[in-house]
Amino acid sequence: MKKFLCAASLCLCSAVICAALALAADGKALFGKCAGCHGADGSKKTMGDGTPIKGMAAAKVAASLEGYKAKTFGGPKKVIMEGQTANLSSEDIKALADYIATF
């Protein structure tokens, strides 16, 4: 029994680690199509007010992306981001937000 529990918890642990790694990789892959405008590290000044996305907290990035997707958020150039976010799932947005927050 002890042995079984040990093996089971080991399995669970590696599954969690794998899931975390997959998410991180996902965010990076998804950001590929964003880098052209925002820069590989998010430091390009794409927004009208000159604020780069580099340095933004994950929660702020996720809120902005969800807002663009729902067409309830944005500045003068929001149409561009509405197109970028239209096909993103909530998981994609979370992965992107977590990745962008590491810049």
* Residues that bind ligand HEC in the complex, under the rule CB under 6 A: 33-34, 36-38, 46-48, 51, 53, 61, 64-65, 74-78, 80-81, 84, 96
CB of 50 to ligand HEC, least distance (A): 11
Structure token pair of residue 100:
């962008």
Residue 91 CB, nearest approach to ligand HEC (Å): 13
C-alpha distance from residue 75 to each of 11, 27, 45, 72, 78 (Å): 46, 24, 14, 10, 5
3 vs 89, beta carbon nearer ligand HEC: 89
